Amino acid sequence: MYFKFIGYKGGVYMNIRKAICSVLAALLIMAAPSAFATGGGNPSASPEQTATPPVSVSATREPISWPSPEPSPEPSVSPTPIPSPTPGELEITKSPENENVKPGGTASFITQAVNYTSCKWYLSKDGETVEADRAEERFPGLKVAGDGTEKLILSAIPKSLDGWSVYCVFKGAAGSVSTSKARLHVSDSAKPKPTRIPAAAVTQSPVVTLVPTAEPMQTAAPHVHSFSSQWKSDDTRHWQECECGEKVNLADHVVSEWTTVTEATKEQEGIDEGVCAVCGRTVQRSTAYRPSTTGRIILAAVIALIIAIAIVRKMQRNSRKRWRLR
């Protein structure tokens, strides 16, 4: 019936071939399992092996459904428990601190603890330990107060307590605990530790702004010269001077008499020395070389004498001639 509707054109034979090949392939697939079951396929198969049922090939392929992954549960993290303090446990919360005092001064040592039944103070140095209540016997003049409490007060401290350590021992139900040791320094140059003031006790004082007032200008009094009666001088002049430096009576030295110290020659000047009649200063002056005039004066006198004699003789001769003519 199928071939009746198919023509005898070129495409018909191709469709027939495809149909025959598809049928043969299906038959081979269906016959293959039975052939292996009878021993003709796999030689290693045992006779007891059951035959594989034929596989039916369907024209349509069903979609494969994959299982959805289930979410893994998140691990739960439990918080680490914080250890709580054991009730009734003895614990020191504050140890005493070092103190610096001068001889005869006072020092306070403060400690704190919880869950204790009693406490006792001790003093120690170089292996020697002294109970606080017996320290007055060990150190004459020392005053002790506060033993058995959290505050020990030492007053009238002697110099011999320098370098000693102070500590407290607390006792409780579980045993005893000692604080750290506080060193006591006793020296003449010791500076006391500053006192700590709680912040709540500090009150801020109001700020006061000071406005400077203009001061009246003071006019300086005019300077009045006061000249000294003593004379000041140099090599050429003398004067009187005020403390401000003002000079008066400035003048040259007055020397009435000079004394020759060094005679002047043709090669060098001479030196004369004299005393000022006003200030009393000894001064010097230079003198130039002057040739001697004594010889010239004598020569001039002789010449003058000769001339005078000549004139006199001539006058005598003239007078004689006059007498003769009479």
Return the exposure string of 91-116: e unless at least 16 CB atoms fall within 10 Å of the residue's CB, then b.
Answer: ebeebbeebbbbeeeebebbbbbeeb
Non-local (6+) Cβ contacts of 157 within 8 A are 101, 103, 104, 105, 106, 107, 142, 184, 186
Q: Give me the pLDDT at residue 194, please.
A: 60
* DSSP per-residue letters across 267-305: SS-EEEEEE-TTT--EEEEEE------HHHHHHHHHHHH
How far is Cα 308 from Cα 298, in angstroms, rounded to an integer?
A: 15
Q: Are 257 and 274 in contact (CB under 8 A)?
A: yes
Provide the H-helix boundaries in the chain: 10-37, 135-138, 294-325
For 95-164, where are the E strands, in sequence order? Answer: 99-101, 107-110, 112-114, 118-125, 128-131, 143-145, 151-155
Reduced to 3 states (helix: H, G, I; strand: E, B; else coil), residue 209 is coil
Q: Could you give the angle at the alpha carbon of 157 between the alpha carbons of 155 and 163, nearest 5°?
A: 130
Question: What is the Cα 153 distance to its own chain's centre?
Answer: 39
Predicted pLDDT of residue 81? 54
φ, ψ for residue 15 (rounded to 5)?
A: -65, -35
Inter-residue long-range contacts of 59-68, CB under 8 Å, 24+ positions, other chains counted: none
**Residue 182 bridge partners (DSSP):** 166
- Element of type H or E holding 261: strand 259-262
- What pLDDT was estimated at residue 84? 52
Alpha helices, DSSP H only, in 38-179?
135-138
- Per-residue pLDDT, 114: 92
For strands 112-114 and 165-172, give the pairing: unpaired
What is the rounded CA–CA span in Å between residue 151 and residue 27? Answer: 113
- State the pLDDT at residue 120: 94
Q: What is the pLDDT of residue 210?
A: 65
At 246 the pLDDT is 87
pLDDT in 10s for each residue of the chain, 326 residues = 444 444 444 455 566 777 777 777 777 777 655 544 444 444 444 444 444 444 444 444 555 555 555 655 555 555 555 455 455 788 999 999 999 999 999 999 999 999 899 999 999 999 999 999 999 999 999 999 999 999 999 999 999 999 999 999 999 888 899 999 999 999 988 776 665 555 444 455 556 666 666 666 667 678 788 888 889 999 889 999 998 888 888 899 999 889 998 888 888 888 999 999 899 899 988 888 887 777 788 888 889 999 999 998 888 888 888 887 76
